Structure 1
Amino acid sequence: MSRERMSRRFYRVDSQSDLSFMDRGRLASSENRWIFEAAWEVANKVGGIYTVIRSKAYISTEEMGEQYCLLGPYKEQSARTEVEEADFAETSPLHVAVNSMRQQGFKVHTGTWLVDGNPQVILFDIGSAAWKLDEYKQELWAKCSLGIPHLDVEANDAVILGYQMAHFIEEFRKAAEQNSECSPRIVAHFHEWQAGVALIVLRTRFVDVATVFTTHATLLGRYLCAGNTDFYNNLDKFNVDEEAGKRQIYHRYCMERAATHLAHVFTTVSEITGLEAEHLLKRKPDVITPNGLNVKKFLALHEFQNLHAISKEKIHEFVRGHFYGHYDFDLDKTLYFFIAGRYEFGNKGADIFIEALARLNHYLKMMHPDVTVVAFLIFPTKTNNFNVESLRGHAVTKSLRDTINHIQQQIGKRMYEVCLSGRLPNSSDLLQKEETVRLKRCIYSLQRDGLPPVTTHNIVDDWNDPVLDSVRRCQLFNTVHDRVKDLAVSCKITSQIL
């Protein structure tokens, strides 16, 4: 069957676009329509795709209800805090398929993901199927001529997970066909090459499901960019087989390329990634699906504005504490810049970002000395502990804030008593000597000898850290005269330190 016919069959345009989310969920159930979304990052925080899937889970669950389910690997450390385990209803074909897998000796965990929308998740224990790895590899070689080296643990895990997910979808289709009068219409959506193995298996076993494959950045492209090549100016000149072989990722590249060509619908997340896929994976994407912020859940604009104001005030408070003693700038004239992601110094553009900050710092000192930029560089890296000087700053600013709040309450009581007596209060009635002494102590504790630190944590082997090395080279040391203040945050989520 051609891709065009498959698209017409499985992707029906719903003319009743004014249906509510609940009605659409019921419609999907009555028509036996199901969507499975699979990725290594489901309930497993290891990369940016985790955020992509998590952010779209709310709207997907509202749209499809219990007909939408996420598939991924079982990682105990993450699942313990992110997943509430529970069994599916016995009448659901999901329950039948999971039980069938368990009876065959596979460990399968089911439940709901503790994120907005609470989507259903099915997590597969890779270790429980490791004994079938040789069998899976043999099938891949026989049907696709794909050979996986024994020592590539990540590729081996991807093969095991892919076969488990494909086996589950195959079992599910059988159960869904028996439990309904109409034939099930199933869409299986896979992200990146780690989950793409399942797509390869479904297609080579001729399982009747529609498949979608999304690449967020091609595997070979990541390696080429990390190798300081003039990547985009030479996209059409690379010998992809040779380049993948040089970097010892040829088998992974073949897995990604096979999933790309076997998918009924191939998508990327940007036009530039689509161009990259066209040259490196040799297929032009059918659809561009840009990553974006889901604002539909904020039905009223003021809700979104209130959340923005609360978050901004948290950042303000953090900046006050971190730059105490050198807090010489107006927050109303301060801009916040952020760069975040995996710690790939060149791939993620940290090198260009820091160079641009240095040039911006020189420009602002010359042209706009009253404007300040605070730049956050958020990357995960090995650390010993929190920076003591940074923690001290938050402690002394909190002490000052608590002292002022207490004095405000006392001043309010005294002002009330004085006004009741029929006269206006003077300064001696409001601020007592002991309170003045407390304020002076807090102000003295704010004095510091050194400069504000450029990191929130003590980084292991910081002299060889690429970000800190670049910061030293550009002399961005957070002095009083610098209009660009930089701060390297050594963790993924800023809320951990705010």
Structure 2
Amino acid sequence: MEAPKPKACKVASRSTKGHYLIEFCSELGRQVGGIYTVIKSKAPFTKRQYDDRYLIVGPLVRQSASLEAEPLTPPTPELSATLKALEMRGIHTVYGRWQIEGSPRVLLIDTTIGCGFLEEWRDDFARLAGIPLPFPEDDELINESIIFGYLSAWFMEEFTKHEKEKVILAHFHEWPAALGLLLIKRQQLDIVSIFTAHATVLGRELCTKGTDWYDILDTLDVDEEAKNIDHYHWHGLETAVAHAADLFTTVSDITAQESEFLLRRKPDQVLPNGLNISQMTAFNEAENLRRTSSKRKLQDFVRSHFYGHLDFNLEETLFFFIAGRYEFRNKGADIYIESLARLNDQLKAQNSDVTIVAFIIMPAKTTSIKTETLKGKAVIKSLKDYVAEMNRNINTKLLEQALKWKEGDPIPTKLDLITEQENIDFQRHLYSLQRKDLPPVCTHNLTNEKDDPILKRLKLVGLQNQASDRVKVVFYPSFLNPSDPVLPMSYYEFMRGTHLGIFPSVYEPWGYTAAECVAMGIPSITSNVTGFGLYMEQLLGEGTSDYGVYIVDRRSQDFDSSATQITEYMQQFCKMTHRERATLRHFTEDLSEVLDWEHMELEYDKSRRSALRLMYPGQVPQEEGDDWPRDIKEKLAQCVFNFIDVSGGL
């Protein structure tokens, strides 16, 4: 499968000074996904450097357009003329202010017009990417990506016609947003390009199928493996885009290694993902005042979900969780469940007073909320309302009797404060709490419960919320939402109320969930085949657990050994005192400085300089720290040392 090669350096007819930066992200209008998180958290820092010369382009999703962009008049005649030219070609766009911190500018392109050209464009991209097999007509992702690719290339073509003085730097995130790059190269538009692979199609699919391939990468027959995967055409397009870019980057060292063999091009640079720590710190400061509230909300949920079987002390209950895309093996849900089962056996054998409520937050296809789940909410609400009413009545009666009391009168008793009818009504509420069935392990009815991997594995290992279990399980197959009728909490609010995040992925190019745990002060378990886990090991060496980041070996160990290691980490955590866990949370949260975009954006800035220097070698001087390998680890390591000096370590 042959792919286009980067062209030679450009004629210095444009100036790199004051150049434009245009980033392409297909998740922009959808408000979900890891790449959306990258762009949204990074954008305020990039906007600070580029101001109105920074533009983020994505497809127009009408349901979210009003939430994403507040329409504005284009700030320059060149951009205004470009958008007018697109309108003349029948392409509707929305240019405006993205309603997030920093108000970066966005351009949303309506892809509706492209549907009529889809068949022709599919054939064109097959030729461009050198893919011998025709594209499947029912592949929605390919169809959407092809249309967006054509329209984004038309936008870039028009912009280069009207903006003739300044260099235009285009940064494409993941292949579905980057197909326009193939057209840009064919048309030889005067544009500097960067492509970032946030994962690889073939790598994800091989891991999903159970292939332990990290140590056999250099021996794989990539073409043969590609023919046997479900998304052969995705891999072909991804490979073509990686070879077409002037500068090719990935998000982690492990994905760089993967890309070198699977995409047949060694990345020029690694761009680790960051977080907007200042924003999250502000959130944390407010949330610290409501940390008890978050915990109480989770406790309220547990009361309703386990009503009739609530024979454990909620004050001695720890909340563990795994969250992310429903990829049973890749995200480590399989080994999470196995480790919980082993922990359950150990806690029961120890007659431990500790109870674990282990959440699985992985959206799946559902038909409805389970009746038992809704009944639990209703029963607990009814009881809470009645208890509150009784309290009000008791308070009123007690106050009245106290005001009338004289020396020598008997002291009021509960019989004076609670009427016989109130006592009967209270007993009725108590009886309503009784039930014979066990609390369900899943809050919703799934479309295909019989074959659901999580439910099947929970049943296989015996985690069914029995009374004797010290590990209780809640599979919540939906996105967390403050308006949800079952668990009305945002993801960060939910996270703040938990004690330990567990993300033992076997395929994870970066791993935002574990990184977010660090930022929120939540200890976590991750693995050494995740970009984040490797990054922490490189920064902290063997001392990651001292700062609340436990790293399980999933590269050199088999499944059983890794499950044993995870179980040991969880056991250690269960044996900690309240004070020890509070101290660990403090150290974890302070470590978040090393993930701040204030530092991570340096790598993006360096990649942009490298791309500009590659194509305009006479205009961009070499600066200290621009050489590969990257110097960011030294800068971040200094942050770690500063932190240790201030905190004194553990």
- Scaled by the length of structure 1, what TM-score is found? 0.83
Deviation for aligned residue 1:446: 1.4
Q: What pairs with 1:100-249 in structure 2 (closer than 5 Å)?
A: 100-113=85-98, 119-133=104-118, 136=121, 140=125, 145-146=130-131, 149-152=134-137, 153=139, 154-177=141-164, 183-247=165-229, 249=231
**Corresponding residue number in structure 1 for 2:301:** 318
For 2:103 and 2:400, locate their aligned partners in 1 and report how far apart those are by CA, in whole Å.
54
Asked if the contact 1:390–1:456 (Cα under 8 Å) also holds between the matched residues in 2, the reply is: yes
Deviation for aligned residue 1:490: 1.8
Secondary structure, counterpart of 1:329 in structure 2? coil
Given the superposition, is the C-alpha separation of residues 339 and 103 from structure 1 closer, same or farther in structure 2, using an over 3 Å criterion?
Answer: same
Given the superposition, is the C-alpha separation of residues 279 and 312 from structure 1 closer, same or farther in structure 2, using an over 3 Å criterion?
Answer: farther
Please list the CA deviations of residues 114-152 of structure 1 after superposition, one character each: whole Å capped at 9, or x if unmatched: 555554432223330234446645665666545572424
For 1:435 and 1:297, locate their aligned partners in 2 and report how far apart those are by CA, in whole Å.
50
Asked if the contact 1:213–1:259 (Cα under 8 Å) also holds between the matched residues in 2, the reply is: yes
Asked if the contact 2:443–2:477 (Cα under 8 Å) also holds between the matched residues in 1, the reply is: yes
For 1:368 and 1:284, locate their aligned partners in 2 and report how far apart those are by CA, in whole Å.
54
Counterpart among 256, 259, 263 of residue 245 in structure 2: 263
For 1:86 and 1:35, locate their aligned partners in 2 and report how far apart those are by CA, in whole Å.
20
Counterpart residue identity of residue 245, structure 1: K
Asked if the contact 2:121–2:146 (Cα under 8 Å) also holds between the matched residues in 1, the reply is: yes
Given the superposition, is the C-alpha separation of residues 150 and 264 from structure 1 closer, same or farther in structure 2, using an over 3 Å criterion?
Answer: closer
Q: What pairs with 1:323-472 in structure 2 (closer than 5 Å)?
A: 323-367=306-350, 369-420=352-403, 426-428=412-414, 431-433=417-419, 434-472=421-459
For 1:443 and 1:131, locate their aligned partners in 2 and report how far apart those are by CA, in whole Å.
64
Secondary structure, counterpart of 2:278 in structure 1? coil
Counterpart among 419, 443, 465 of residue 478 in structure 1: 465
**Corresponding residue number in structure 2 for 1:41:** 27
Please list the CA deviations of residues 249-300 of structure 1 after superposition, one character each: whole Å capped at 9, or x if unmatched: 4443232122223334333233322221122123333443334542211455
Given the superposition, is the C-alpha separation of residues 443 and 58 from structure 1 closer, same or farther in structure 2, using an over 3 Å criterion?
Answer: farther
Given the superposition, is the C-alpha separation of residues 336 and 282 from structure 1 closer, same or farther in structure 2, using an over 3 Å criterion?
Answer: farther
For 1:442 and 1:4, locate their aligned partners in 2 and report how far apart those are by CA, in whole Å.
78
Deviation for aligned residue 1:481: 0.9
Given the superposition, is the C-alpha separation of residues 329 and 44 from structure 1 closer, same or farther in structure 2, using an over 3 Å criterion?
Answer: same
Please list the CA deviations of residues 214-257 of structure 1 after superposition, one character each: whole Å capped at 9, or x if unmatched: 22220011111122222223222111111112336444323212
Counterpart among 269, 272, 282 of residue 254 in structure 2: 272
- Residue 297 (1) aligns with residue 283 (2): no
Asked if the contact 1:341–1:492 (Cα under 8 Å) also holds between the matched residues in 2, the reply is: no
Counterpart residue identity of residue 42, structure 1: L
Flag structure 2 segments of 5+ consecutive residues without an equivalent: 1-5, 488-650
Query: Which is worse superposed, 109-118 or 368-377?
Result: 109-118
- Residue 284 (1) aligns with residue 269 (2): no
For 2:454 and 2:111, locate their aligned partners in 1 and report how far apart those are by CA, in whole Å.
36
**Corresponding residue number in structure 2 for 1:18:** none
Asked if the contact 1:48–1:341 (Cα under 8 Å) also holds between the matched residues in 2, the reply is: no
For 1:436 and 1:448, locate their aligned partners in 2 and report how far apart those are by CA, in whole Å.
21
**Corresponding residue number in structure 2 for 1:491:** 478
Given the superposition, is the C-alpha separation of residues 299 and 242 from structure 1 closer, same or farther in structure 2, using an over 3 Å criterion?
Answer: closer
Flag structure 1 segments of 5+ consecutive residues without an equivalent: 13-30, 178-182
Deviation for aligned residue 1:342: 2.9
Query: Which is worse superposed, 265-274 or 413-422?
Result: 413-422
Given the superposition, is the C-alpha separation of residues 66 and 438 from structure 1 closer, same or farther in structure 2, using an over 3 Å criterion?
Answer: farther
Asked if the contact 2:128–2:182 (Cα under 8 Å) also holds between the matched residues in 1, the reply is: no
Q: What pairs with 1:3-82 in structure 2 (closer than 5 Å)?
A: 32-45=18-31, 47-61=33-47, 64-76=50-62, 78-79=63-64, 82=67
For 2:58 and 2:271, locate their aligned partners in 1 and report how far apart those are by CA, in whole Å.
21
Given the superposition, is the C-alpha separation of residues 90 and 4 from structure 1 closer, same or farther in structure 2, using an over 3 Å criterion?
Answer: closer
Secondary structure, counterpart of 1:158 in structure 2? helix
For 1:207 and 1:486, locate their aligned partners in 2 and report how far apart those are by CA, in whole Å.
55
Please list the CA deviations of residues 475-498 of structure 1 after superposition, one character each: whole Å capped at 9, or x if unmatched: 111011111111111213354331
Secondary structure, counterpart of 2:279 in structure 1? coil
- Scaled by the length of structure 2, what TM-score is found? 0.65
Q: Higher relative CO (CA 8 A, sep ≥ 6), structure 1 or 2?
A: 2
Query: Which is worse superposed, 245-254 or 429-438?
Result: 429-438
Secondary structure, counterpart of 1:297 in structure 2? helix
Deviation for aligned residue 1:463: 1.4
For 1:62 and 1:392, locate their aligned partners in 2 and report how far apart those are by CA, in whole Å.
51
Counterpart residue identity of residue 90, structure 2: G
Secondary structure, counterpart of 1:486 in structure 2? strand
Given the superposition, is the C-alpha separation of residues 34 and 321 from structure 1 closer, same or farther in structure 2, using an over 3 Å criterion?
Answer: farther
Asked if the contact 1:137–1:148 (Cα under 8 Å) also holds between the matched residues in 2, the reply is: no
**Corresponding residue number in structure 2 for 1:15:** none
Given the superposition, is the C-alpha separation of residues 144 and 440 from structure 1 closer, same or farther in structure 2, using an over 3 Å criterion?
Answer: closer
Asked if the contact 1:220–1:280 (Cα under 8 Å) also holds between the matched residues in 2, the reply is: yes
Counterpart residue identity of residue 460, structure 2: R
Deviation for aligned residue 1:209: 3.5
Asked if the contact 2:152–2:180 (Cα under 8 Å) also holds between the matched residues in 1, the reply is: yes
Counterpart residue identity of residue 244, structure 2: L
Secondary structure, counterpart of 1:390 in structure 2? helix
Counterpart residue identity of residue 485, structure 1: K
The number of aligned residues is 472
Deviation for aligned residue 1:103: 0.7
Asked if the contact 1:85–1:111 (Cα under 8 Å) also holds between the matched residues in 2, the reply is: yes
For 1:426 and 1:92, locate their aligned partners in 2 and report how far apart those are by CA, in whole Å.
83
For 1:427 and 1:110, locate their aligned partners in 2 and report how far apart those are by CA, in whole Å.
71
For 2:42 and 2:405, locate their aligned partners in 1 and report how far apart those are by CA, in whole Å.
62
For 1:493 and 1:188, locate their aligned partners in 2 and report how far apart those are by CA, in whole Å.
34
Query: Which is worse superposed, 204-213 or 85-94?
Result: 85-94
Deviation for aligned residue 1:212: 2.5
Counterpart residue identity of residue 461, structure 1: N
Deviation for aligned residue 1:364: 1.6
Asked if the contact 2:72–2:97 (Cα under 8 Å) also holds between the matched residues in 1, the reply is: no
Asked if the contact 1:241–1:250 (Cα under 8 Å) also holds between the matched residues in 2, the reply is: no
Deviation for aligned residue 1:113: 4.8
Asked if the contact 2:24–2:172 (Cα under 8 Å) also holds between the matched residues in 1, the reply is: yes
Asked if the contact 2:303–2:380 (Cα under 8 Å) also holds between the matched residues in 1, the reply is: yes
For 1:454 and 1:344, locate their aligned partners in 2 and report how far apart those are by CA, in whole Å.
19
Given the superposition, is the C-alpha separation of residues 64 and 366 from structure 1 closer, same or farther in structure 2, using an over 3 Å criterion?
Answer: farther
Asked if the contact 1:336–1:376 (Cα under 8 Å) also holds between the matched residues in 2, the reply is: yes
Secondary structure, counterpart of 1:43 in structure 2? helix
Deviation for aligned residue 1:359: 1.0
RMSD: 3.5
Secondary structure, counterpart of 2:178 in structure 1? helix
Secondary structure, counterpart of 1:346 in structure 2? coil
Given the superposition, is the C-alpha separation of residues 396 and 101 from structure 1 closer, same or farther in structure 2, using an over 3 Å criterion?
Answer: same
Asked if the contact 1:41–1:72 (Cα under 8 Å) also holds between the matched residues in 2, the reply is: yes
